[in-house]
Copies of this chain bind each other. A is one copy, B any other.
Amino acid sequence: MTYQAAFLALADPTRRQVFEELGRGPRSVGVIAAGMPVSRPAVSQHLGVLKKAGLVSQRAEGTRRVYYIDPKGLAAIRIWLDQFWDEALLAFQAEIEKKDVTE
């Protein structure tokens, strides 16, 4: 049930932008905030949420805190998606065969 926090964390556009930025490599808070329209504390808070969701981890370099992707959070989503994919697709195909898709 960890995917709950992951979905909630990735729902916000700004927060997902922070996350995707980290996907290109480790970054410090200031560097991330510099490339975004929001203030530094906002980025710090977003990183806190991402960390709680197990999506990122942290490493201290002097006063700098370098953040980077943690596969734990993504793995939670992947597991949920994989297990849901089968039964959902099954139910969907059953419907397709029964009647056409009404848009």
Contact = CB atoms under 8 A, between A and B. Distances in A.
A91 B11 contact: no
B91 A26 contact: yes
Interface stretch (A29-37, A38-46, A65-73): A65-73
Contact of A4 (B13, B25, B26, B68): B13
Chain copies in complex: 2
B68 A91 contact: yes
B71 A89 contact: yes
A85 B82 CA distance: 14
The 4 A-B pairs with the shortest beta carbon distances in the complex, nearest first, are A11-B11, A69-B88, A68-B95, A59-B102
Interface of A: 4, 7-8, 10-11, 13, 16, 20, 22-26, 57-60, 68-71, 74, 77-78, 81, 84-85, 87-89, 91-92, 94-95, 99, 101-103
